[in-house]
Amino acid sequence: MRITNSMITNTMLASINRNKQIMSKLDRQMATGKKVEKPSDDPMVTARALKFRTSVSEIEMYETNAKDSNSWMSISEQAIKNTNEILKRMRELANQGANDTLTSKSRKAIIEEYEQLKEQIMSEANVSYAGRRVFSGYKTDNDLLFDKQVKEKYVIQEVFTSENVEKIEKVYNNRIHDVHRIRLGYKEVVESTPAGTIEGFTVVTKSTADADAYAPSATTVHLIEDTGELIFHKDDVANIPEPLGFSYQKNTFEKGDPKPEHYLHSTNISKSPSEMYNKFVGLTTTTGAVAGGTLDAANQVVIDKDTLLIDGEYRMVGTTTADTVELQKKDGSGTWQTIDTAAIDTTTGEVGFTVGTEKVEIQIEDYTAGDFTAVTDILNFTTAFDASHKQDSMEYQVSYSQTIQVNTMGFDVFTQNMIRDIEEIISYNRGIKDDGSTDDDLKKSLTSKEFNKFIGQLDKHIDNVVNQETKIGAKVNRIELTLSRLKEDNLNVTKLLTQNEDVNMAKTLIEFSSHKAVYNQALAASGQIIQQTLLDFLR
C-alpha cells in the first residue's frame, strides 16, 4: 500500500488521541474515585450501584427506627419498673396494716402514704417520650390518667361476666353481712339517660346513706352511686345475665382516675360534637325474626360500630306513616320501651335515631320504600359488644418487612382494678369514724382482714406488672439483636457498593503510568517522523 506523509500524520494523531482519551478517563476515575461517571460508562455497574445505594439508605433508616424504638421501650420499661417498686412498697405497708395491734393513728399514716403512692403511679402512667405519652396507645397526646380533678361528663358502658360478681362483707345494721356485688369502673357515678338496664332486673339507684343500700329485694339491683357498685340479692346471683352490659354516667373525675377513653366504651358528652371512644373490638348485630310487611331475611341491620346502643334486644316497629319507624328496646321486665321515632331514607335505607344524647345511624340493607307501613311490620335485632380491649399497636419497621410493636398499652399495666383496689382500701379506712358506734367497731375489727385481702390483690397486680416488664425486656433484646444485624448488613452492603463502583487506585495508577509511557514514546517517534522528508537530504 502506498503510504503518504499525511496518512502517517493522520494515523499518528488518531493513535495519540486515543491514548489521550484513555488517559483522561483514567485521570477522571482517579480524581472522582468512581468507576462510572455516566450510566453509559458501564450500564451494569450503574444498575447495581443504584440498587446498593437504595439498600444502604433503607438499612440506615431501619437502624434509626430500631434505635428510636429502643428508647421508647426503655422509657416504658423504666416506668413499669418504678410502678413495681411502688406496689412493693404498698405491700410492705399493707403487711404492717394487717397487724391487729396497730393503732388507727398508725393506719391513718399508712393511708396517707398510699395516697402519695397513688399519685406517684399517676405520674408513671402519664410518662412521655419526646412529648408523647407512651402508655396511651395511638392517643399519645392524651394522658392515661387524669392529672387533676376535672368536671367532664362521660356516658360509660361496661360489660361484665360472672367472674366479675364477687361476695364481700359489709357492715350495716350493726351486723356483718355477705353482699353480692359487681364493682363498676368508677366510684361517684350517676344514672345515665336513658338509664342502664339489666335484663330480668329492676335497677334502683341508691347511696350508701340509704339504710337498705346493700339489701336489695329479689329481682332488684341497687346501683350505689357513691361507691360505684351494683348489688344483687343473694338468690339472684344465678340469674345474672351473661354477658351483662350496663351503662352509667360520671360527671366528675378525681386526680389519678383512669381516663375512660383509654379503658372503657365511653362518650364524652360535655364536648360538642361529642367525642366517641370505642375501646372495644367491635359490635355485632343479629337480625332476628321478621314479622309482617314485606320485610325479608335480606333486610339485615347494619349499625355504626361506634354507637352507644347498649347491649340488648331491639326492634324497629312500623307506624301508620309509611317508612317511619319507632326504635324500641326490651327493658328488664321484658316490656318494649320506645326510644325514638324517625323516618327511613328510602333510597339508602338509612335511619337516624337519638338515643340519650347520642345520634345512632342504622342502615337497613336491601330496603325498598313501603316495607314499613303498619305497626305489624317489625324488624328485630340484638346488639352485643365484644368486651375485649383493642390494642393500639404502634409498629416501627426495623427490617425488611419486619415490624415491631413499640408501645405497651396502659390498661394492661395500670389496670382499672389496681386503681380501684387502692381506692377501696383508702376509702375503707377513711370510712372509720372512731365514733364508738357498733358499726364503726365492727368495721375496725375487719380492718386487718381488709388489708390481708389487699395484699392478695397486690400480689396479683405485681405479677401482672412483672409480666409486662418481662415482655418489654424480651422485645428490647430482639431489637438489640436486630440492631447488630442491621449494622452488619450495612457494612456488607457498603462493602459491595464500594467494590462495585469504587476505583481500585493501585490498578488504575499502574494503568495510567503505562499509558503515559506509551504516550510519551508515541510523541517522541512522531517528532522524528514528521521532520523527515526527502527534501531534507537533497542538496
Question: Residue 254 interacts with another protein (CB under 8 A)?
Answer: no
CB of 236 to another protein, least distance (A): 37
Complex with another protein: residue 47 or 525, whichever CB lies closer: 47
Binding range to another protein, per CB under 8 A, among 130-138, 193-201, 367-375, 412-420? 130-138
Q: Which of residues 77-96 bind another protein (CB under 8 A)?
A: none
Backbone phi and psi for residue 328, each to the nearest 5 degrees, phi listed first: -125, 150
Complex with another protein: residue 141 or 365, whichever CB lies closer: 141
Question: Residue 120 interacts with another protein (CB under 8 A)?
Answer: no
Question: Residue 399 interacts with another protein (CB under 8 A)?
Answer: no
What single letter denotes the amino acid at residue 350? Answer: E
Complex with another protein: residue 348 or 427, whichever CB lies closer: 348
Question: Residue 101 interacts with another protein (CB under 8 A)?
Answer: no
Complex with another protein: residue 379 or 406, whichever CB lies closer: 406
Interface pattern 518-537 for another protein (x via CB under 8 A): ---------------xxx--
Q: What DSSP character marks residue 415?
A: -
Among residues 91, 415, 72, which one has the least CA distance to residue 262?
Answer: 415
Strand order in the sheet with 265-268: 244-250, 154-160, 265-268, 275-277
Residue 318 three-state SS: strand
Q: Which of residues 263-292 bind another protein (CB under 8 A)?
A: 276-278
CA distances from residue 115 to 255, 359, 429 in whole angstroms, order as listed: 11, 40, 12
Which residue in 89, 91, 139, 478 binds another protein (CB under 8 A)?
Answer: 139
Q: Whole-angstrom Cα distance, residue 291 to residue 109? A: 66
Question: Residue 403 interacts with another protein (CB under 8 A)?
Answer: yes
Question: Residue 207 interacts with another protein (CB under 8 A)?
Answer: no
Backbone phi and psi for residue 101, each to the nearest 5 degrees, phi listed first: -80, -5
Virtual torsion, Cα 59, 65, 67, 70, nearest 10 deg: -140
Binding range to another protein, per CB under 8 A, among 108-116, 372-380, 390-398, 459-467? 390-398
Burial class (CB in 10 A: 0-12, 13-18, 19+), 34: middle
Complex with another protein: residue 98 or 276, whichever CB lies closer: 276
Complex with another protein: residue 46 or 197, whichever CB lies closer: 46
Residue with cell 337498705: 212
Q: Whole-angstrom Cα distance, residue 73 to residue 398? A: 14
Which residue in 320, 401, 528, 531 binds another protein (CB under 8 A)?
Answer: 401
Residue with cell 361529642: 274
Q: Which of residues 472-501 bind another protein (CB under 8 A)?
A: 501
What single letter denotes the amino acid at residue 487? Answer: K
Complex with another protein: residue 67 or 330, whichever CB lies closer: 67
Beta strands in 55-209 (DSSP E): 128-129, 132-133, 154-160, 165-172, 175-183, 202-206
CB of 270 to another protein, least distance (A): 18
CB of 122 to another protein, least distance (A): 20
- How many angstroms from the chain centroid is the CA of residue 538? 103
Which residue in 4, 103, 320, 335 binds another protein (CB under 8 A)?
Answer: 4
Which residue in 202, 220, 397, 405 binds another protein (CB under 8 A)?
Answer: 397
Question: Residue 335 interacts with another protein (CB under 8 A)?
Answer: no
Complex with another protein: residue 142 or 300, whichever CB lies closer: 142
CB of 129 to another protein, least distance (A): 10
By the 8 A CB rule, do 126 and 144 touch?
A: yes
Interface pattern 35-74 for another protein (x via CB under 8 A): -x-xxxxxx--xx-xxx-xx--xx-xxx-xx--xx-----
Among residues 249, 273, 245, which one has the least CA distance to residue 260?
Answer: 249
Question: Residue 29 interacts with another protein (CB under 8 A)?
Answer: no
Q: Whole-angstrom Cα distance, residue 253 to residue 237? A: 31
Complex with another protein: residue 50 or 374, whichever CB lies closer: 50
Q: What DSSP character marks residue 297?
A: T
Interface pattern 288-317 for another protein (x via CB under 8 A): ------------------x-----------
Residue 261 three-state SS: helix
Q: Whole-angstrom Cα distance, residue 326 to residue 57? A: 61
Question: Residue 12 interacts with another protein (CB under 8 A)?
Answer: no
Complex with another protein: residue 223 or 472, whichever CB lies closer: 472
CB of 53 to another protein, least distance (A): 6
The count of other CB atoms within 10 Å of the CB of residue 533 is 9
| # chain residues binding another protein, by CB under 8 A | 60
Orientation of helix 438-501 relative to helix 43-97, angle to 10°: 160
Binding range to another protein, per CB under 8 A, among 116-124, 135-143, 213-221, 326-334? 135-143
Beta strands in 201-333 (DSSP E): 202-206, 220-224, 229-232, 244-250, 265-268, 275-277, 283-291, 301-303, 312-318, 324-330
Binding site for another protein (CB under 8 A): 1-7, 10-11, 14, 34, 36, 38-43, 46-47, 49-51, 53-54, 57-58, 60-62, 64-65, 68-69, 130, 132, 136-142, 276-278, 306, 392, 394-397, 400-401, 403, 501, 533-535, 538
